[in-house]
Chain A
Amino acid sequence: MDLDALTRGDGDAWDDAFRWLWPVAYAAAQAKLQPFLPNEVEDVAIQTLEELVEAVRDGKPVEELKPLAATIAHHRAVSLLRERFAKKRGAGKTESPEPVQAETGADYPDPAADSPLAAVERKELAEGLSRTLSELKPPQGAILTDFFLKGLSYEEIAQKHGVAKNSVGVYLKRGLETLRRIWGRRGES
């Protein structure tokens, strides 16, 4: 990625950058919005890339663009969820005991209310993500994902990654310690 070409506004360089960054913005937006506002995923991804254009103008280095894309998309998605759910509750309230009706038709509480990173500033979020990417050593990230996001058991993870079943817990423990070291105690309600 040629930062000089990007800062000159070179259309071809930006085409390459958009193709490179689109999957990142899309995936981060999709992770938050897919269960609740799936039709908004593309719009949030587009807005994210538009904001990245301004970030490059303001001097962001190329190596920070992917984490930045992910954090901007995440932030925008959380804001959108809050805004939509506040509207549905009426009068701009953000807390309500009443469940609301999602686009999917299911009853659920505000999905953004439980977000441990919702109050984190975007700059801090991007820095935290960059640190996480550099400090979470393979296969820690993949094992954490398999356990916490995909719901695989210790046995399934051991088989998938070719590690001893007993060591799965060790990877998870060290991975969580890494996240806690970087992000502090954000998950505590």
Chain B
Amino acid sequence: MNDQEFFDLALKVIAQQASEADRAELDTLVARQPELKAEFERLQADTRLAREVLPMVNATEATAPELPAWARGQLQTKVRETFGRQPAPERATESETLGALWKWRWVLGLAAATAVVTLVVLPVFTRSAPPLIQVAMLDTAGATRGSDTNAWSLLRQSWEHATIDSFTDPEALHAWETNWPAPNKRPVVKVVFDPATGEVRLLGRWKGESFGKTLPVEQNLTATLEQAQLFITQRTSR
């Protein structure tokens, strides 16, 4: 048996593609030529290495999935934090400085007054507003199936005050996902249930930041919706 034949046989055994006869042949070979045991172990190590490296190689050629809409805002924030620069202040003249000094006295006085009012009044208004929840379901087969009616009911139970939209066209859903209400003093969260992919997507905006999460429907929709509610509570109570 030449090197290549031994390699092929050993690799079949390592990849668990070998028959009983193949295994017996390999055992016989190794018993007859003990140096082949080291070669077999080296091939096992090479296999472990290949299984670790190849997914990274393949990842560099991946073209899907698309960047989720919710992630874009978070990443752009990172770009601004990393590259954003404040312009350097220009030097003021002496008269401007004196004028500014008087203005500052007024500003400081007003600031002190504002602080007093804030300390007294703020606790009354700082209870965090509940998030505005918008729910949508993608039903490309049309809203005729019993399971979808059941899903709609579960969504309604989870967010009884939310609007629930149903879409049959993914493009229309995409438009809905990217259409956000004007910034307000309460968080906004969009919940999308996609039965075809078996996932619940959460997209949110709060305090100028975007966030999101995709939850697979692994056991049942009820459990996933509970996870979704927990996630929303965690993200919007910060």
Chain A residues within CB distance 8 Å of chain B: 7-9, 11, 14-15, 18-19, 22-28, 31-32, 38-39, 42, 45-46, 49-50, 53-54, 57, 66-67, 69-71, 73-74, 114-117, 128-129, 132-133, 136, 141, 144-145, 147-149, 151, 153-154, 169-170, 172-173, 175-176, 179-180, 183, 185-189
Contacts and interface: CB of A to CB of B under 8 A. Distances in A.
Contacts of B53: 117, 128-129, 132, 179, 183
A28 to B, nearest CB: 4
Contact of B75 (A53, A114, A172): A53
A6 B60 CA distance: 20
Contacts of B197: none
Given A31-B56, A144-B54, 16 more contacts: A7-B83, A9-B80, A19-B66, A28-B55, A39-B214, A39-B216, A42-B213, A57-B82, A57-B83, A70-B57, A117-B49, A149-B54, A169-B4, A179-B49, A187-B45, A187-B46
A54 B213 CA distance: 24
- Chain A interface mostly helix, strand, loop or mixed? helix
B84 interface: yes
Contacts of B48: 114, 116, 187, 189
B62 interface: yes
- Chain B interface mostly helix, strand, loop or mixed? helix
A116 B52 contact: yes
B82 A53 contact: yes
B80 A115 contact: no
A133 B61 CA distance: 10
Given A169-B8, A173-B7, A187-B48, A27 B62 contact: yes
Interface in B67-109: 67-68, 71-72, 74-76, 78-80, 82-84
A132 B67 CA distance: 26
Contact of A26 (B56, B65, B79, B83): B65
A24 B45 contact: no
B43 A176 contact: yes
Contacts of B52: 115-117, 186-187
Given A42-B68, A53-B75, A129-B56, A23 B213 contact: no
